[in-house]
Chain A
Amino acid sequence: MEARIAELIPRLRRYARALSTQGMQSDDLVRATLERAGQELGGQSGGDLRGWLFGLMHAEYVRVLAGGNGAPPEPLAPGSFEQAIGDLTAGQREVFLLVTLEDMRYDEVARTLNVPIGTVMSRLSRAREKLRLGLMSQARLRAHK
């Protein structure tokens, strides 16, 4: 079981890297997820290991966001992916990245994040439209420089 978890670490790291904004240490998110996985391994019924791990990371992410110390966000490189995705809500970010990076089916995303599938669809739709408009205006700004 641990060997199968280990094989998923690079994917957890990729997701965490894309998810983390504003100085959050993405490997800390992975570390906390793996530690939680270690504690709960006995209760894991075997089924969808990836969904379970990404679900644990979701819980950890929510915990980190809730515990935010209120420090002002660090300025991000303009025109970067981080800036574009920084305009999304945490929930929109998660849905967009699970679908895009992990190729998750919508019902898997709903289970992983523990939300109704309708919420998955509306978050995905808003996330894509915000990113599209954000990148368009970034491009326009560059063109005017």
Chain B
Amino acid sequence: MNPARPLPVGEAELHAYIDNQLSQDRRAAVEAWLAAHPEDAVRVAAYRRLAVQWRAAYEPVLTEPMPRELAAILLKRPPSRLPRRVAMVAGVGAVIGAWALLQPKHVPSAAASEMVRRAAIAHAVYAADVEHPVETGPGANAQLLAWLSERLGMKVDAPDLGAAGLSFIGGRLLPGDKAAAALLMYEGPNGQRVTFYWGPEFKQVQETGVQFARRDPPRVYYWLDDECGYAVASSDLSAHELQLVARLAHDQLEK
């Protein structure tokens, strides 16, 4: 653009050039500078190699199995904004009361909200773990379900979600406040992950039917019955697809 001689290139710009944080015209100026200053060009090339080496050396950490105690910190934490939410609900109680009368829809209880929160965290923690999402491989699914049933004190079953293109690939035990929870993992043909959370501590006398809970990924649908709370979560499926999955699971478990 500017016909005048470009400003000389400083040390900071060499780094910004390496890190792709330069404007287009300064990029050109740096490239011209490097062509005329071989010592700087050698240095820049070495700095680029450092970045490649360091990224490659630490990349594997991203797919390491998540230590259980790290996930547990988030899973066990009591809901942070509960006091504020309670205050707000009290303040607009009358409005909500009127709204509830007009709505045949289910209003999520505090317990349901807490379960949805945990199901979303568990999904975020474990579904992203491409190589070690489950504790037991598909060969040992029967033993896994028997083991989870024992730990949860109820029969844990993996519903057949083949109609939605999903296969059961395994599961794991999760910490809970009052009782252990379980997470079953399903996978679609293109690697889409769906998790199915079982939380016995969220059981409720009256069965709720399938409810929508979270629009932002991970999306969540859930229901509660007199034995357990259940939640399906996925970041890969649309809300509509996930709803179908939730209905499939619900109809098999609540027959």
B-contacting residues of A (Cβ < 8 Å)? Answer: 1-7, 9-11, 13-14, 17-18, 27, 30-31, 34-35, 38, 41-42, 81, 96-97, 99-101, 103, 105-106, 121, 124-125, 128-129, 131-132, 135
Known: A9-B66, A81-B57; 5 extra A-B contacts, CB below 8 A, are A18-B57, A81-B53, A100-B50, A129-B43, A132-B50
Contact residues, B37-85 vs A (CB, 8 A): 43, 46-47, 50-51, 53-55, 57-59, 61-64, 66-67, 69-71, 73-74, 77, 80-81, 84
Q: Distance in Å from the Cβ of A10 to the closest Cβ of chain B? A: 5
Binds A, one of B24-32, B118-126, B136-144, B151-159: B118-126
Tell me the minimal C-beta distance from A131 to chain B in angstroms: 5
Among A3, A9, A125, residue most surrounded by chain B Cβ atoms (within 10 Å): A3
The residue on A at minimum CB distance from B19 is A99
Chain A hits for B11, CB < 8 A: 121, 125
A33 to chain B, nearest CB (A): 10
Q: For the complex, give the distance between the alpha carbons of A35 and B70 in Å.
A: 9
Chain B residue with Cβ nearest A13:
B61
A36 vs chain B, min Cβ distance (A): 10
- CB of B203 within 8 A of chain A? no
- Interface of chain B: mostly helix, strand, loop or mixed: helix
With a 10 A CB-CB cut-off, give which of A7, A41, A96, A103 has the most chain B CB atoms.
A7
Check A18–B58 contact: CB distance below 8 A. yes
B71 with A18: CB separation less than 8 A? no
Q: Is there an interface contact between A105 and B21, defined as CB atoms closer than 8 Å?
A: yes
Interface of A is mostly: helix
Q: Which residues of A contact B19 (CB under 8 A)?
A: 99, 103, 106
Name B residues whose Cβ lies closer than 8 Å to a Cβ of A: 11-12, 15-16, 19, 21, 43, 46-47, 50-51, 53-55, 57-59, 61-64, 66-67, 69-71, 73-74, 77, 80-81, 84, 117, 120-121, 123-125, 128-129, 218
- Shortest A123–chain B CB gap in Å is 10
- Establish whether residues B77 and A2, one from each chain, have CB atoms under 8 Å apart when the complex forms: yes
Q: Which of A1, A9, A41 contacts B125 (CB 8 A)?
A: A9
CB B235 to nearest CB in A, in angstroms, measures: 9
Which of B16, B46, B117 lies in contact with A132, CB distance below 8 A?
B46
Contact (Cβ within 8 A) A2 B70:
no
Contact, CB under 8 Å: B120 / A31: no
Question: Once the chains bind, are B77 and A42 in contact (CB under 8 Å)?
Answer: no
Whether the pair B55, A106 counts as a contact (CB closer than 8 A) is: no
Contact of A101 among B47, B55, B123 (CB under 8 A): B55
Contacts of B46 in A (CB 8 A): 132
Residue of A with least CB distance to B60: A14
Asked whether, in the complex, the Cβ of A18 is within 8 Å of the Cβ of B54, the reply is: yes
Check if A101 sits within 8 Å of B80, measured CB to CB.
Answer: no
Chain B residues whose CB sits within 8 angstroms of the CB of A30 once the complex forms: 70
Known A-B contacts A35-B73, A38-B74, A101-B55; A6 and B50 likewise in contact (beta carbons under 8 Å) = no
- Residues from chain B with a CB closer than 8 A to the CB of A101 are 54-55, 58
Cβ–Cβ contact A97 & B54, under 8 A: yes
**Do A132 and B47 form a contact, CB below 8 Å, given A2-B117, A17-B61?**
yes
The residues of A that contact B120 with a CB separation of less than 8 Å are 2-3
Q: List the B side residues contacting A11 at CB < 8 Å.
A: 62
Q: Assuming A14-B58, A132-B43, is B15 touching A121 (CB within 8 A)?
A: yes
